[in-house]
Homo-oligomer: A and B are copies of this chain.
Amino acid sequence: MVLCKKWIYAKTFTGAPEAGNFTLETEELPDQLKHGEVLCEAVFLSVDPYMRLFPVPVGSVMMGEQVARISKSENTDYPVGTYVKTMDGWKTHTLYSDASKLTKVQDLGDLPKSLALGALGLPGLTAYFGFLEGCCPKSTDTVFVNSAAGAVGMIVGQIAKIKGCKVVGSAGSDEKCKWLKESLGFDEVFNYKTKPLEAALNDHAPNGLDCFFDNVGGEDTTIVIKHMNKYGRTAICGAISQYNKSKGDKGELPYSPILMNLLRVEGIQIMNYVQKWPEGLKQMSQWINEGKIKYKETVTEGFENMVSAFIGLFSGQHVGKAIVKP
């Protein structure tokens, strides 16, 4: 028998996720596969803020992407050793009777397969399409991205640099800020925990902002929108500051600046661009291979630490993409 471990969403979130929301269960999978079947074994698991926002039904396995390796196979199209990317969620093993539903991980050359969950996966595509289509950057633009050391923010800032923009980023520690500036080439960075946003924008973007890629939400969004220049574009991608609150939407409606400065504010979501994903992945791969886009992962070891890795998303514990290695 193969022992599959899985994390169950056991109790509805109220406020910040905590250990008590989850239970670890096991399931025995057969040792002998039938014709056509494959057994996938998780190699890298993803934890992302959206899992707090769109929880699965209570009693289900927590959802999420993983990169898995086929460890047993009775299907010649999917031999042992094949890497696949699945939405199997927080579990170590999955038995597929119909392997044709599996998506092989694209050829990543020398790059780690975990990138299929980060810079070359949904977070990277979110940054690519969300920023380029939501913010429509021009080379003369000043761009602000918050949660800039996160899985999406770090990519947005670097794409903005590639496009010739001036890039201002915020993050929650001096160490993250240093990395953004020195390694990723952000023009201006500040630690939002020690510098008030209003003052920071006045200091770091004295000529106003043209593009705003928002991962944080709440009152900060209002403040930033008031710093937008005429025709400024705001892409609302996430609201991590709000997910753990029972009532979000703090901050006043920045009505006058939207009207007077003819601003655009738009919610963006990667599923809107499914048709164009291959194009995005190709460009992102090229930039990574050329060294124009760098990436960072925080890898948590051990499937039993999956919950703490997830909880850590909301306290800024990780730098770059948060990955769990079971």
Contact = CB atoms under 8 A, between A and B. Distances in A.
A232 to B, nearest CB: 10
A174 B272 CA distance: 42
A139 interface: no
A290 interface: no
A249 interface: yes
A182 interface: no
Interface stretch (A22-30, A90-98, A203-211, A215-223): A215-223
Task: Give the bracket for the number of chain A residues in contact with chain B.
Answer: 20 to 34
A250 B252 contact: yes
A267 B266 CA distance: 12
A89 interface: no
Interface string A253-290: 11110111111111111001000000000000000000
A256 B268 contact: no
A51 to B, nearest CB: 15
B266 A263 contact: yes
A20 interface: no
Interface string A219-252: 0011000000000000011110010000011111
A234 to B, nearest CB: 9
A201 B237 CA distance: 27
Nearest to A268: B262
A249 B249 contact: no
Contact of A260 (B250, B259, B267): B267
B258 A266 contact: yes
Contacts of A272: 262
Nearest to A263: B267
Interface in A178-217: 217
Contacts of A239: 255-256, 259
Contacts of A222: 253
Contacts of A264: 264-267
Contacts of A261: 267
Q: Quick one: which of A238, A253, A254 has the most chain B CB within 10 A?
A: A253
Contacts of A242: 255-256
Contact of A254 (B249, B268, B269): B249
Contacts of A238: 259
A269 to B, nearest CB: 5
B260 A249 contact: no
Contacts of A269: 262
9 contacts: A217-B255, A221-B255, A239-B255, A249-B255, A250-B252, A251-B252, A252-B252, A252-B253, A259-B267
Q: Rank and list the top 10 A-B pairs by shortest CB-CB distance, nearest first.
A: A262-B267, A251-B253, A264-B266, A265-B265, A258-B267, A259-B267, A249-B255, A236-B259, A253-B253, A249-B252
